[in-house]
Structure 1
């Protein structure tokens, strides 16, 4: 079968390969963000600071782990040649959306914490800590930056899965009590 020939799933094998690679990329990035954050701790004369001291960073670690696991499983499922079905299309669509928002939330909340670590906030008595724990802040910033790249990957996957769902399957039809079919939205 050539690269542009259609396989049994209704798409080209090149498209299936591209989608599989796009599903593997966030897995690798999530593992990178997870490892950077897990190894993020620093001690000095002022004390010690670790990712586990801040709930936002713990959430980022958990979200990255979940996204990496899903990316692996979805890459395997996307790589397998199979006929398209409505339930698989909906599953990919919903899970891609869910994980895109979950990793976006992790990145957003960690961005706020990193900002406060760099700048502080006098009104809530949060002093800046990056002058004392610079290594910690640099690693946290790197992990958050990787997380936003993952968010872009999941946005792309969400577009692909929504296109596959809504271009291949018709809108659901509901039947009223008068026997007239109305498109349910």
Structure 2
């Protein structure tokens, strides 16, 4: 008896339609990964050029460890976004190792940029408001331009976090919906070992 659907496609979906859908998914995934790259570069440039000098002194991003961490995190994020977009754009079908790698690295980048944005936000809060308990006065009244640029860089970084949170959800969906959990070997006997106590 002839099989009507020899290509394992569901009714109404031809192999060409399936190929077009896969191409569209790859294009969307590639674009979604390129957008954070541009945002990371923007946040990086804004912070790298962030310095101010006046009659009270001078300040630059390199004077604060949190802002240097933000610069490094955005640089790593931009590089990874470019590489992952190139991988996503490749035509060969996804393998389980590729899916697991993207899933893990997407999660890592999400938490890295979140950590950089969070510590930088804390520094900005102290710069705007000061801390009376340790007699640390607010600095943004004196270095307003510096604080404004730092705020812009941090805001862009949190937009990147939102993008990568969404990318992480998509990569986890693609991983866990496409591949099943590994099954135990049929010859192995999984037995529950119960401790025996002799009275």
Shorter-chain TM-score above 0.5: yes
Question: Which position in structure 2 is the counterpart of 1:16?
Answer: 26
Q: Which runs of 5+ in 1 are unaligned?
A: none
Residue number in structure 1 paired with 2:66: 56
- The residue aligned with 1:99 is 109
Counterpart for residue 90 of structure 1: 100
Question: What is the correspondence of 1:24-173 to structure 2 with a 5 Å cutoff?
Answer: 24-173=34-183
* Alignment-derived partner of residue 7 in structure 2: none
Moved over 6 A (4+): none
Gapped runs of 5+ residues in structure 2?
A: 1-15, 192-199
How far did 1:161 drift?
0.5
Q: Is this contact kept in 2: 1:23–1:75, CA < 8 A?
A: yes
CA RMSD in angstroms comes to 2.2
Q: Distance in 2 between matches of 1:119 and 1:180?
A: 60
**Equivalent residue for 1:6?**
18
Q: Structure 1 178/15 Cα, relative in aligned 2: closer, same or farther at 3 Å?
A: closer
Distance between the aligned counterparts of 1:86 and 1:44, measured in 2?
56
- Which has the larger Rg? 2
Q: Decide whether aligned partners of structure 1 residues 40 and 168 sit closer, same or farther in structure 2, where only a CA change above 3 A counts.
A: same
**Within 1, Cα distance between the matches of 2:28 and 2:122?**
34
Q: Give the TM-score normalised by structure 1.
A: 0.90
Q: Distance between the aligned counterparts of 2:46 and 2:58, measured in 1?
A: 17
Give 1:38 shift: 0.1
1:31-81: CA deviation from partner (whole Å, max 9, x where unpaired): 000000000000001100000000000000000000000000000110111
- How big is the shift at 1:16? 1.1
Aligned residues: 178
